[in-house]
Chains A and B, each alone.
Chain A
Amino acid sequence: EAEVAQSPRYKITEKSQAVAFWCDPISGHATLYWYRQILGQGPELLVQFQDESVVDDSQLPKDRFSAERLKGVDSTLKIQPAELGDSAMYLCASSHPYRPRATGELFFGEGSRLTVL
């Protein structure tokens, strides 16, 4: 069964350092999402891509976060510099375009857990 791949699974870093997360969506899924999930809360959308274009990055803290999906396939989310409040699970999800509207379904990866010390 196809899955969304994410790496690393766990990352511990000191504040002010740079961190990067990678996501490989399910093959053929044109839409890719990065969500942040703070412990005890629901996922919050950071950025949404349609192919290589950003559809929504309204909740992305652009002073320190950046995301790219250069060839419209895999994607990287970067944080520089990391702050204590960035400690969270970073989830990548993918879908066919408009599929969530028809089914409510996003396919999530297992996430990358970030701890900032």
Chain B
Amino acid sequence: QQQVKQSPQSLIVQKGGISIINCAYENTAFDYFPWYQQFPGKGPALLIAIRPDVSEKKEGRFTISFNKSAKQFSLHIMDSQPGDSATYFCAAPGAQKLVFGQGTRLTINP
């Protein structure tokens, strides 16, 4: 059974700073590892995802770094903006399903 641990639980970053959220998984998998973004009152939405044979993927201000040997991956948000304030979830592929981390509540102070 896939297990996912996400840290930190909450994070406060100043506008323009770098936000970093970490995720560790237990079981090797060959499918995509995604990060989801959730605003209050809304369902989670895919933000960015990475294949496990790639070490880094960048989309605009969002970057995933993937360390296959350590079974860890992280989300970096560059030049963080108040509009990035949300809860972020990592997920790892399990048996025919995605297993989500517990979430990180990110607050960007103006």
| Contact surface of A with B, Cβ cutoff 8 Å | 4, 33, 40-45, 48, 55-56, 91, 93, 100-106, 108-111
Contacts and interface: CB of A to CB of B under 8 A. Distances in A.
Nearest to A3: B43
**Interface size for chain B: under 10, 10 to 19, 20 to 34, or 35 or more residues?**
20 to 34
Contacts, number: 68
Nearest to B9: A40
Contact of B32 (A33, A48, A103): A103
B31 interface: yes
A41 B96 contact: no
B100 interface: yes
A93 to B, nearest CB: 7
Given A42-B102, A55-B96, A93 B43 contact: yes
B31 A104 contact: yes
Given A56-B97, A104-B46, A104-B91, A41 B31 contact: no
B31 A100 contact: yes
B46 A106 contact: yes
Contacts of A108: 43-45
A56 B96 CA distance: 9
A42 B25 CA distance: 14
Contacts of B33: 104
21 contacts: A4-B43, A40-B102, A40-B103, A42-B100, A42-B101, A43-B100, A44-B100, A45-B97, A45-B99, A48-B96, A48-B97, A100-B98, A101-B32, A101-B93, A102-B32, A103-B46, A104-B49, A104-B50, A105-B49, A106-B46, A111-B43
